[in-house]
Amino acid sequence: MSYSASHFFFHKSTFNKLGGYSTNPWAEDYDFILRAYKAGAKLAKHPEKLVQKYHASGRLSRVEAIYKRPAMFEAKAHYMLEYGLLKNRRGLLIAGSGPTGRQTADSFAKRGVKILGYVDNRPGPPDRKVKSWPAWGFRDLPPAEFLEKFRDALILLAIGDSEGQRAFAELLRKLGFIENSDFVRVIYNWPAASTYFD
């Protein structure tokens, strides 16, 4: 038997194993997805549209704070800390200084995590800052010697452009950084379901 939430399907055994939904200051289904991912569940996008939904202006996801972007980033910060991703790290380097990067910084800073700064593709003066934190800009991807200075930090990819995010992740992998250990995507473009299923 399977269960369906507003945007994903999963086996009842997975739901039961993870204790079902729980009450948090963020969306219960998103909370469940983060717990399932940590437990090793394989998540992917189905190539076809399976459900047609009507998005009314008064639906909860449009009006309740727990379904808004800041709450989702609170969940990400909560679970990254709970899962120990910042253990023995001197702080965070955030790749991307747009809305996602700034929200990421806010969510971690309020939990006492040291924000080392931002890296992005906006060159500026040497003392450039974004929200009071240093910001280093490079026209292309940052050079290896720059990234090596952050080997003991957790790098969060908060890059909205999927091609830019993929290129940055590939550079980090090429330099020996390990995804979901040394760097994490806070926006993730899930692979197609065919990656996991026939």
Residues 32 and 108 in one domain: no
Q: How far apart are CA 107 and CA 196, in angstroms?
A: 32
Does 194 reside within a domain? Answer: no
Of 13, 37, 65, the position where a domain reaches its end is 65
Residues 175 and 109 in one domain: yes
Residues 49 and 116 in one domain: no
Residues 52 and 99 in one domain: no
Residues 129 and 157 in one domain: yes
- Count Cβ atoms within 10 A of the Cβ of residue 88 and give its class: 0-12 exposed, 13-18 middle, 19 or more buried: exposed
Strand order in the sheet with 183-185: 129-130, 133-137, 115-120, 92-95, 154-157, 183-185
Residues 37 and 116 in one domain: no
DSSP for residue 193: G
pLDDT digits (tens, 9 = 90+) for 131-165: 999 999 999 999 999 999 999 999 999 998 889 99
Query: Is the whole model's pTM more than 0.85, yes or no?
Result: no
pLDDT digits (tens, 9 = 90+) for 52-82: 777 788 877 777 778 888 888 899 999 999 9
The count of structural domains within the chain is 2
Does 178 reside within a domain? Answer: yes
Residues 79 and 173 in one domain: yes
Domain residues for the domain of 81 are 69-185
Task: Report residue 37: phi and psi, to 5°.
Answer: -60, -45
